[in-house]
Amino acid sequence: MEVENAQPYGEGGAEAILNVQPNTSISIAYHHHFGPHADLMLLELDEKLLPDILNQRVTLRGQPDEDAVLCSQSKTYAIKFVGTSNSLFLIPPSDLSIALGASPNSSKKDHDNLTVASVIKVVPGSMELVEVAPRLDKLKVLLSENPYSFDEVSQMNTESTHKNRGLYAWNDLIEKVQASDEELCTGLRALSAVEIDGYWRLLDENFVDEILNMLLHNAVLNDWLLNALNEDEVLRVLEADGFPLKIVRHCLEVYGRKVDDETRGGCTWRLEDRPLCVHFARVILRGEKMKLERFMEEWRKKVPEGMNASFDVLEGEVLTEKIGIETWIYAFSVSSLSSVPAERFSRLFQEKPKWDGKELQPFIRDLKVPGLSSEGLLLKYTRRTQPSANAEPIFSAR
């Protein structure tokens, strides 16, 4: 294949290159619009993504100070530049060559010596997509700016409460958070966020505590079964106590699950042990370290009768430590940790230099790194020691 200097009428298109037969050659030349063309880039794609690209079902997301990511409907991809040491010529299709314009002074002789293909740019490399975990840490930071509280319920003019107070609608979130739509929805559910007046909100912890205590109080007064709560009755009673219907229903979704009960009619809910037990444990341990015996006593008083207030349900929510002969407990929730593996492990080993495997698992189980299992994460970020074959492995910082 021969490369010639820029021709006055070298406007052949890429079709000529695509039709080159084996053991043949053609002439190519620099297009008279040849240049750096920084707006033209090559993107290497997996075939599975091609329909999304062609049908414009992907978006680029990120702020000016962030590396952009490409998001499909369900996945997030980092964009990386891969350079090449070979010269890679970019030849536009013939219709684009014509659109760019041929030399107006071309003659018949020029036509007779028409260059077959015209290079418009030498490409230094291509962009490559690598699937990554969604960057959802920012979501919690944004929604934590202004949690929804009981004080806000009592305010009549909702427009004035929303103005300039760090509230975020769906369109705001997809602009600021680097995650696909499906991943963002999953993140909102994991944070127990609720959409109120078009804005996604976290509920203030004290507000949630008020609702749950009032629900349990009314359950005692009205002889409600916690495994068979009638939604209509619960909503009616708690609305009379001043709680918005949407918020009460949201709490039922977070702390319970729907059950089939044809005998009662309407929608029936069952309060679940773990979310309710975890909530009351957080309330008791808020900013405080306690002796384990005292905590267990207070915790079991708060947890409704019949629920399993077993210490096992608090895995991933608390840590214990020995001080002398006594065991102390304090809040340390996996939900407060970074979703970036390096940052997660750094924080864990800052809290405790050594972890046994059983204790560590609840704090890394939720880490999702495409192509890397939990075992792979442990190999990459920890050092494993095992005093004996029967002993529990111990993990420390690598």
Q: How confident is the model at residue 390 (pLDDT cuts 50, 70, 90)?
A: confident
Q: Above 60 in pLDDT, residue 367?
A: yes
Task: Check whether 264 has a pLDDT greater than 70.
Answer: no
- Classify strands 256-259 and 229-230 as parallel, antiparallel or unpaired: unpaired
Nearest-angstrom CA–CA distance, 37 and 40: 6
Beta-strand pair 117-119/290-291:
unpaired
Tokens of 75: 């996945």
**263, pLDDT greater than 70:** no
348-368: string of b/e by CB count within 10 Å (b at 16+)? bbeeeeebeeebbeebbeebe
Distance (Å, rounded) from C-alpha 380 to C-alpha 378? 5
> With left for phi above 0 and alpha for psi between -120 and 50, is residue 265 left, alpha or beta?
left
Checking if the pLDDT of 58 tops 70, the result is yes
- In angstroms, the CA 206 to CA 212 distance is 10
Pair 368, 183: CB distance under 8 Å? no
pTM of the model: 0.83
Average pLDDT over residues 126-134: 93
Of the ranges 114-123, 157-166, 180-189, 227-236, which one carries the lowest mean pLDDT score? 157-166
pLDDT for 214 equals: 97
**Residues 342, 134: Cα–Cα separation, whole Å:** 15
pLDDT for position 99: 47
Exposed, middle or buried by CB within 10 Å (0-12, 13-18, 19+), for 102? Answer: middle
- Determine the pLDDT at residue 30: 84
Among the listed residues 268, 366, 258, 354, the one whose alpha carbon sits nearest the alpha carbon of residue 315: 366
Task: Tell me the mean pLDDT in the region 158-170.
Answer: 69
pLDDT at 161 over 60: no
Tokens found for residue 272: 């679940």
Weakest mean pLDDT among 106-115, 216-225, 312-321 = 106-115
The mean pLDDT value for 61-86 works out to 92
pLDDT at 265: 63
Average pLDDT taken over every residue of the chain? 87
Q: Which of 260, 249, 248, 256 is nearest to 276 (CA)?
A: 256
- Residue 91 neighbours by CB distance under 10 Å: 22
Strand 121-132: give its sheet, edge to edge.
43-44, 121-132, 76-90, 69-71, 59-61
